[in-house]
Structure 1
Amino acid sequence: MTNVASMIEPTLQDVYDAQSRIEGHILRTPLRNYPVLSELLDADVWVKHENFQLLGAFKVRGGINLVSQTSQEERDRGFVTASSGNHGQSIAYAARAFGAKCTVVLPEGANTAKAASIAALGADVVFHGNVFERSKEHAEMIAERDGMRFVHAANESALIAGVGTYSIEIHEDLKDIDVLISPVGAGSGASGSCIVTDSLSPSTHVIGVQAASAPAAYHAWKSGEIEIFPMATIAEGLATESAYELPIGILRKRLTEFALVDDAAISSAIKHYVHATRTLVEHAGAASLAAAINMKESLKGKRVVLVASGGNITTDQLKAVLN
């Protein structure tokens, strides 16, 4: 369903071009140092606050970059995508900004805050399937039936270039970074980080992190084989049964290391964020801190950037974490 041009690996120039396109549509998010986190990890720890981004997540960068480049004919047909939540928000927001209709297919039981936001942005929300992959299949069927432009959550060069802009901001704001840790769900954010960091700060190690109970991308990164892995993580932003060709190809070439963290460690990291930064980070966004805590010894004395990729945690999820 995704066209061949969408599967071309973006370049650093593509990311800079995206930065120019999305300026005025998104926020430049802060990169902040926290003494409490630095003490916790015995390192110089900085947080890239994409949880402060419009719609509460980094994905909006990719949505604007993609939709802004589409033809009027594509916008007239409208866009359909599948998402666990944040990607759906990004396409709904971008479609509204450029006067196009949008349908977002979510898994049944999706994050209620994200679903409400997508609907408020004017998109049609469809619930289908118990996991993201079933939602994706249904979105592809809608695209075929109604002639809409299907937007894949990962196999889209423009999405990766768009979300790569947060890594340009990181390297513009801070030098001599030893380690950059990025959550991996579908893989667009970590892919963008790798492309940018390889060029702007090649000595920086980019580490991806995924939920241990949703390890499809991790296994694909290790083996080169894309297979289905059952998943049961509470981190819906990391909840994919499969890896995807474009981002996993980038990660296999460029990612330094790939870590797995369990759900308990992710929940604990959310509490650390509340204590140390007074901010809310959703489960997927907290995975980078969870990984850093697990690998504390190897990070000792280093300058570390943690990507807090999103803040869309529901009140029920937060209560469960705090209790």
Structure 2
Amino acid sequence: MTVLDPILDPVALPSIDDIRDAARAIEGSVLKTPFLPAPRLSQLTGAEVFVKYENLQVTSAFKERGALVKLLSLTSAERAAGVVAMSAGNHAQAVAYHASRLGIPATIVMPATTPFVKVEATRAFGAEVVVEGETLAEAQARANTIAETTGAVWVHPYDDAHVIAGQGTIALEMIESGIPLDTLVVPVGGGGLIGGMAIATKALSPRTTVIGVETELYPSMRAALDGQPPECGGNTLAEGIAVKNVGRLTLAIARRFVDDVVLVPESAIERAVNAYLTLQKTMAEGAGAAGLAALLAFPHRFAGQRVGLVLCGGNIDPRLAASIMVRELARAEKIVAVRLIIPDRPGVLGDIAATIGGCGGNILEVLHHRTLLSVPAKGASVDVTIETHGPHHAREIEAALEARHYKVERLATP
């Protein structure tokens, strides 16, 4: 049964019964995604990790669940009037896809800063896309106007009881798998995902701790729980949870059912995206990897625990994913760049290449400078980017170059 919250009374919060009803409603239309052990992530983090792969949904994100529950709740008249939503990504595609499937006209307002690939993906799912506003707030204002003038039903991305109940079906599936969890770690944007999952978890597995994760740049839920105004801003890899204001419903749920919310740095999110790519061979966007980022940022907090993670989305730009992988190779010193001051005479470049190759290094790039004022007039500098086996191997190559009487300076890698 629904529960009345004293702060929001008489507004009803979703209950475990609502979540069970939602699960029955979406069965066969939304994938019951795998919930699997991840031994390599367990080795990396020191926790016993299990991953729920919501990136395998048709739109590559969990948002389909809540969007479909909301759409199925509409009356015939409301369906005929259509729906309107505002989103820069996953919610837009989820509403567009399931509205098209159900024959419901859908208008999606997306800010002008939305990547072109996401705009086209939303159009491809059958929605009318309106690109307007530089910010999500401006786009939402436009969506509100469309709803008021056309009578279309507003489908909120998180602060809606039907949407929250739909997202809660993820936890329901995790619990029904029979894998007992010490801790559930969930990314937090507006709070719809953790709200639904926390309700289900505390109803069916009350001993399981529910931890939310936000990026340090957008600590909206953490600030709201602390009674402080949020200080949000900056470019984040986890744009899917870069929300400045959490919902009224979701905040009330978090106060009651969420045990804690932690903040993670951007570097941890990068590491988590890379770990999913290289260790699990699966695609995670920044927001989707935030749960794993918490385990990487606070390993002692989760060590030895059986932890459930939600890989809630995989819509990441391939170029960005490639850049993250290269950056992580640089952090691990598996790619290093050095500058050598050399005499400007024939055969020197060949000697450098032979020295590096003799140590087992692989040259990725060479830049040769003769006109820099920092080198002698009869000298030159060479910047060499090298693939190595790691820090020890990199130092071995540098030592071999120094033994050939080259001055070696380590450079910052891209």
Tell me if both proteins adopt one fold, taking TM over 0.5 as the criterion. Answer: yes
Matches within 5 A, 1:1-323: 8-223=12-227, 229-323=232-326
Structure number with higher strand proportion: 2
Amino acid at match of 2:301: S
TM-score with structure 1 setting the length = 0.94
Compute the displacement of 1:5 (Å). 11
Q: Which amino acid aligns with 2:317?
A: T
In 2, are the aligned partners of 1:227 and 1:243 still within 8 Å (CA)?
no
Q: CA RMSD in A?
A: 1.8
Show CA shifts across 1:268-309 (max 9, x none). Answer: 110011122100001100010001111211211110011100
Q: How many angstroms does 1:6 deviate by?
A: 11
Question: Structure 1 residues 117 and 176, CA, compared in 2 at 3 Å: closer, same or farther?
Answer: same
Q: Secondary structure at the residue paired with 2:261?
A: strand
Number of residue pairs matched? 319
Question: Whose RCO is larger (CA < 8 A, sep 6+)?
Answer: 1
- Decide whether the 8 Å contact of 2:218 with 2:231 is kept in 1: no
Structure 1 residues 5 and 105: alpha-carbon distance in aligned structure 2, compared to 1, 3 A threshold: farther
Whether the 8 Å contact between 1:82 and 1:152 is mirrored in structure 2 is yes
**How many Å separate the matches in 1 of 2:242 and 2:209?**
25
Residues 11, 195 of structure 1: 8 Å contact kept: yes
1:142 Cα deviation (Å)? Answer: 1.2
Residue 231 (structure 1) shift: 4.7
- How big is each residue's C-alpha offset from its partner over 1:119-154, in whole Å with a ceiling of 9 and x where there is no partner? 011101122223322221211011112221111112
Q: With structure 2 as the length reference, what TM-score do the two structures score? A: 0.74
2: CA distance, partners of 1:88 / 1:40: 34
Q: Tell which structure's C-alpha radius of gyration is larger.
A: 2
| Contact in 1 for aligned 2:237/2:270 (Cα 8 Å) | no
Deviation at 1:106, TM superposition (A): 1.4
Displacement of 1:175 in angstroms is: 2.9
**Which amino acid counterpart does residue 252 of structure 2 have in structure 1?**
G
Identity %: 36
8 Å contact kept, 2:221–2:261:
no
Distance 1:90 1:70 in 2: 16
- When residues 53 and 226 of structure 1 are mapped into structure 2, their CA distance, relative to the original with a 3 A threshold, is farther
Task: Measure, in 2, the Cα distance between the counterparts of 1:31 and 1:73.
Answer: 38
Report which of the two has the higher share of helix.
1
Bigger Cα displacement from structure 2, 274-283 vs 114-123 = 114-123
SS of alignment partner, residue 198 of structure 1: helix
- Partner of 1:164, secondary structure, is helix
